[in-house]
């Protein structure tokens, strides 16, 4: 990729974005800050033509059935055809869903994404013979084919994965039925998405400065960090109060998702849904169990942070609504071009090629930057288009958290760039288990850079406080989510039901324990215990634990890089370049971090303790 000059001109946000746009009609946005989906398809006609081409290609797949074992060449030809069509499907699916997320209120975008979901299900159904037929050929014959046909080398790992899944693979007819059921599998998540992003009548509240704001998910994320405590309380009460009104609906959606997960585990003969979810990537269950056990053991570190936060905010009693404002007040904003420049500079320890890649990516039209009415909330990276570029969705608010989020998402993005560059399509796509290492390591590098360029102790306190909150949110909060997710799956597996009210009780008990409610550390009132309804990740089948394991790993890698350990950068970049060429736990362990052991989690807690020591040293100096 071509290198681009770092953009150092700091523009005023008011020149291209009105912060109150979420409350009214879309404001005109500079095209430089809107992703360019014509990089995928030049127009709707091209998209439709590609979709029709794929549909025609699917007709050819049934002819492959029964002939995979004819010869090594026949198997290579078949896999070339299948993966070629899958590559087309990924591009189509990416375009459809990114276009929908630009404005979830527009029916054509919803229909397009639904069409692609159906096409993907059809593709899966058409391929339902693949696993059973390869398993029928047997391990010895497949290994013989691999030795005889060089073209099969890029499919070695996918073929070995199919052989590994033998005890949980059904016959061709049953696999076909399960593929058809897949058409319904995302219904709970789709229901949640439409309800939370498009149909919810989100409340408006008037803040202490007289400004009326809309508390949709983006608005809540922004205004929960208000420096005015009464405003924060008002935001929490209004936002979670509205969620509480829809507790039953969200409960039905999540219960349906958990039943779907449990059905998949049962029909594939796994002992439980956790084992099923971990099996795809061959993650030892010890990783999940050790994470939760070590999180419990290190709750005193979290509670120390809460006490420090209360002290720095001058509060006798810390409430849940007091967690999000920075512990040091700042009026500083970060215009988007400044964020780009900071991230490029912060990631320079990863080498010249990484700097070139992230510079080019941040200045191309790969990021949809600012909030707009109907736009999907939150942030994400989509990078599965093998011969294309990653895309990042942001809802940039000009605060430091937004800068950190941008660094996070483009950590994913450059991970995809490196994996796609060094791996064939068949093994380029990587697991979330490794993905979140790339993103959170960028956040760690950003913190180190910000501490270097900080002009005062107050500014250092601000960044150190932000880092503490990042570690809390990505490690302790996600581990808490993981414990909740395990609890609700186990409840269904033992025959229990999950109403919205019951989900709130289960979540509330865990929330209070993690935050030391009974010890008077953080007061958790009943209004906020419906927070589970706000979290979309519970629809992703044991997804959230990987945030916590990954940030533990990334802190270990970041420390090695910071200390100048020989080959630390090469080892880390090698992990990113490996993509999905091996099981993610094995890749990380090979790179020097064992996430089934207590060590990385204890090291993360020690890092938090060290940051708090730095904060208290600065505070002592100021007395």
- Give the pLDDT confidence of 593-617 residue by residue, as tens digits: 999 999 999 999 999 999 999 999 9
Nearest to 300 by CA among 608, 569, 590, 616: 608
pLDDT tops 50 at residue 1: no
Is 349 in contact with 445 (CB distance < 8 Å)? yes
At residue 33 the predicted structure's pLDDT band, cuts being 50, 70 and 90, is very high
d(CA 75, CA 133): 11
11-19 long-range contacts, CB within 8 A, separation 24+: 11/335, 11/336, 11/337, 12/335, 13/333, 13/335, 13/336, 13/398, 17/370, 19/397, 19/398
Given a cut of 90, whether residue 403 has pLDDT beyond it is yes
pLDDT above 90 for 66: yes
pLDDT band, very low/low/confident/very high, at 174 (cuts 50, 70, 90): confident
Q: Sign (positive/negative) of CA torsion 90, 95, 96, 102?
A: positive
pLDDT tens sequence across 304-345: 999 999 999 999 999 999 999 888 888 889 999 999 999 999
pLDDT tens readout for residues 122-150: 898 899 899 899 999 999 999 999 999 99
The pLDDT assigned to 183 comes to 64
CB 95 within 8 A of CB 37: yes
The tokens for 240 are 């979670």
Residue ranges and CATH numbers for the domains of the chain are: 65-183 (1.20.140.70)
Backbone φ and ψ of 368, nearest 5°: -95, 110
Distance in angstroms between the alpha carbons of the first and the last residue of the chain: 51
Q: Residue 396's closest CA among 383, 406, 410, 407?
A: 406
Of 509, 511, 350, the C-alpha closest to 438 is 350
Mean residue pLDDT of the chain comes to 91
Q: Which of the two residues, 150 and 106, has the higher pLDDT score?
A: 150
Q: Which of 431, 440, 435 is nearest to 554 (CA)?
A: 440
448, pLDDT greater than 80: yes
Cβ-contact 554, 441 below 8 angstroms: yes
d(CA 609, CA 589): 25
Catalytic (active site) residue 409: yes
pLDDT band per the 50, 70, 90 thresholds, residue 27: low
pLDDT at 18 over 60: no
Of 409, 436, 443, 531, which one is the catalytic site residue? 409
Please name the residue ranges forming H helices in 347-399. 352-363
Average pLDDT over residues 384-393: 96
Which pLDDT band holds residue 117 (cuts at 50, 70, 90)?
A: confident
Distance in angstroms (rounded) separating the CA atoms of residues 517 and 582: 43
The CB-side HSE value for 582 (13 A sphere, CA atoms) comes to: 12
Could you tell me if 312 and 468 are in contact, meaning their C-beta atoms sit under 8 angstroms apart?
Answer: no
pLDDT tens per residue, range 214-268: 999 889 988 998 999 999 999 999 999 999 999 999 999 999 999 999 988 988 8
**Confidence bin at 173 (pLDDT 50/70/90):** confident
Residue 5 pLDDT > 70, yes or no?
Answer: no
- Separation of alpha carbons 546 and 543, rounded Å: 6
* Cα-based distances in Å from 349 to 344, 355, 411, 559, 623: 10, 9, 14, 12, 36
Q: pLDDT band at residue 7, thresholds of 50, 70 and 90? A: very low
Are the C-beta atoms of 463 and 246 separated by less than 8 Å?
A: no
The rounded percent of the chain whose pLDDT value lies above 90 is 78
Closest CA to 5 of 363, 526, 346: 363
Q: What is the mean pLDDT of residues 6-23?
A: 29
Asked if pLDDT for residue 11 goes beyond 70, the answer is: no
């Amino acid at each position: 990729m071509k290198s681009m000059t770092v953009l150092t001109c700091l523009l005023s946000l008011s020149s291209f974005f009105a912060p109150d746009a979420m409350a009214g009609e879309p404001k005109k946005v500079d095209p430089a800050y809107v992703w360019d989906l014509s990089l995928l398809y030049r127009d709707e006609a091209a998209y439709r033509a590609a979709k029709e081409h794929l549909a025609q290609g699917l007709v050819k797949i049934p002819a492959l059935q029964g002939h995979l074992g004819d010869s090594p060449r026949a198997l290579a030809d078949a896999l070339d055809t299948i993966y070629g069509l899958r590559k087309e499907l990924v591009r189509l699916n990416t375009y459809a869903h990114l276009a929908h997320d630009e404005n979830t209120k527009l029916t054509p975008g919803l229909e397009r994404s639904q069409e692609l979901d159906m096409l993907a299900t059809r593709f899966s159904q058409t391929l339902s013979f693949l696993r059973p037929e390869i398993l029928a050929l047997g391990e010895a014959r497949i290994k013989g084919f691999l030795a005889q046909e060089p073209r099969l080398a890029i499919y070695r790992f996918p073929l070995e994965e199919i052989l590994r899944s033998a005890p949980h693979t059904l016959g061709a007819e049953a696999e076909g039925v399960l593929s058809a059921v897949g058409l319904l599998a995302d219904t709970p998540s789709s229901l949640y998405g439409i309800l939370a992003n498009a149909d919810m009548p989100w409340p408006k509240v008037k803040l202490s400065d007289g400004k009326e704001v809309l508390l949709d998910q983006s608005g809540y994320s922004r205004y929960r960090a208000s420096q005015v405590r009464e405003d924060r309380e008002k935001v929490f009460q209004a936002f979670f109060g509205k969620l509480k009104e829809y507790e039953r609906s969200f409960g039905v959606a999540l219960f349906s998702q958990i039943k779907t997960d449990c059905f998949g585990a049962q029909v594939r003969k796994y002992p439980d849904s956790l084992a099923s979810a971990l099996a795809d990537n061959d993650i030892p269950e010890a990783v999940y169990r050790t994470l939760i056990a070590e999180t419990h053991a290190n709750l005193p570190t979290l509670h120390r942070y809460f006490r420090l936060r209360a002290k720095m905010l001058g509060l006798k009693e810390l409430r849940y609504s007091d967690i999000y404002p920075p512990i040091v007040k700042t009026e500083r904003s970060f215009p988007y071009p400044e964020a780009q420049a900071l991230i490029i500079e912060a990631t320079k320890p990863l080498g010249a090629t990484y700097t070139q890649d992230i510079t080019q990516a941040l200045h191309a039209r790969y990021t949809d930057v600012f909030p707009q009415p109907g736009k999907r909330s939150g942030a994400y990276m989509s990078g599965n288009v093998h011969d294309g570029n990653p895309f990042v969705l942001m809802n940039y608010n000009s605060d430091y958290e937004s800068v950190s989020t941008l660094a996070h998402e483009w950590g994913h993005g450059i991970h995809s760039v490196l994996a796609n560059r060094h791996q064939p399509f068949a093994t380029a796509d990587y697991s979330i288990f490794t993905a979140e290492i790339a993103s959170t390591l960028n956040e760690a590098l950003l913190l180190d850079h910000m501490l270097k360029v900080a002009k005062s102790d107050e500014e250092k306190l601000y960044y150190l406080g932000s880092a503490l909150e990042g570690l809390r949110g990505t490690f302790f909060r996600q581990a808490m989510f993981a414990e909740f997710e395990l609890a609700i799956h186990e409840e269904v597996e033992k025959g229990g039901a999950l109403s919205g009210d019951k989900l709130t009780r289960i979540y509330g008990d865990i929330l209070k324990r993690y935050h030391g409610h009974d010890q008077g550390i953080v007061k958790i009132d009943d209004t906020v215990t419906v927070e589970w309804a706000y979290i979309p990740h519970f629809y992703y089948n044991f997804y959230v634990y990987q945030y916590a394991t990954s940030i533990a790993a990334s802190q270990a890698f970041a420390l090695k890089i910071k200390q100048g350990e020989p080959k630390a950068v090469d080892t880390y970049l090698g992990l990113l370049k490996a993509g999905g060429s091996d099981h993610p736990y094995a890749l990380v362990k090979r790179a020097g971090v064992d996430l089934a052991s207590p060590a990385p989690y204890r090291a993360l807690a020690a890092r938090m303790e060290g940051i708090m020591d730095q904060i208290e040293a600065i505070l002592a100096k100021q007395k």
